[in-house]
Amino acid sequence: MTVTARYADPEATLGVANEVIALQLAHRSVRSFTPRPVTEDELAALVAAAQSASTSSNLQAWSVVAVRDPQRRARLAALARNQRFINEAPLFLVWIVDLSRARRLADRAGTTLDATDYLESTIVGFVDVAFAAQNAVVAAESLGLGTVFVGAIRNHPEDVAAELGLPPHAVAAFGLAVGTPDPAEHAGIKPRLPRAAVLHHERYDAAASDLHIPVYDRRLGEYNARYGLPGAWSDRVLERLAGPRSLSGRDRLRAALERLGLPSR
């Protein structure tokens, strides 16, 4: 059962389950794809699913750019740490925090829109686009497609904006490679923290939560070893968040956002 794989715990169970939950539990990142194109009908279905996600005040403060052109994908890959699967995936979706649509609406109405300059509006855009993209991922997997998110698209946000022709007040939040999974790819369902490490009742209990980290480090370490990957979860967290240099240029994101028209005051 996929819940046992999700927690790397043979005793893990769920009291309720259905096809949707089973699909979600089986999620994995796919980094190797067959050459089969993603059809226009499939893309339309992913976008319809994305647009069915919740959105704050129905602002719908996001857009998505579908990139199929191999040369453009190669340029985007170069801006995102040269991750080869961006070149290999037949479809690369770049998800955009888009406050420009509201700005254009205000321009046509001859009114001001000062609230878009504030951090709350930027957060709304990032939350909205994340909801939308996750809906698209579930839809893709229901169609037999595989995906992997690409946060490194934020390493060079101004260059990405120029490549995609983004208007002011819009920024790429992340990419999503989409395609048919290569059956030869050696990958599995990566274990997550035990449920008790993330689920609190009534009040946050840090001490009780952190008791579960050592067992998770062991489980994820064993999973990583099967795929030739080093380290446990704690090692990865400490390495990834060590300091500005570990952010691969994203330590300068606030300044880039301001230059792109999202000052986030």
Give the mean pLDDT of 71-100. 98
**Percentage of the chain exceeding pLDDT 90:** 97
What pLDDT score was predicted for residue 1?
A: 62
Give the mean pLDDT of 112-140. 97
Give the mean pLDDT of 4-26. 95
What pLDDT score was predicted for residue 150?
A: 98
Longest CA–CA separation in the chain, Å:
62
Q: Which two tokens stand for residue 58?
A: 């129905």
Helices (H) then strands (E): counts for the chain: 13, 4
Angle between helices 70-79 and 157-164 (to 10 degrees): 170
Give the mean pLDDT of 125-136. 98
Quick one: which of 65, 53, 117, 58 has its CA closest to 92?
Answer: 65
Q: Which two tokens stand for residue 62?
A: 């996001």
Confidence tier at 228 by pLDDT (50, 70, 90): confident
**162: exposed, middle or buried (Cβ count in 10 Å: 0-12, 13-18, 19+):** exposed
Is pLDDT of 78 > 90? yes
User: Coil, helix or strand for 158?
Assistant: helix
For the stretch 34-63, pLDDT in tens is 999 999 999 999 999 999 999 999 999 999
* Domains defined along the chain, listed by start: 29-185 (3.40.109.10)
What pLDDT score was predicted for residue 108?
A: 97
For the stretch 161-180, pLDDT in tens is 999 999 999 999 999 999 99
Give the mean pLDDT of 179-194. 95
- Say how many C-beta atoms besides its own lie within 10 A of residue 45's C-beta: 17
Confidence tier at 187 by pLDDT (50, 70, 90): confident
What is the rounded distance in angstroms from the CA atom of residue 149 to the CA atom of residue 95? 10
What is the rounded distance in angstroms from the CA atom of residue 86 to the CA atom of residue 76? 8
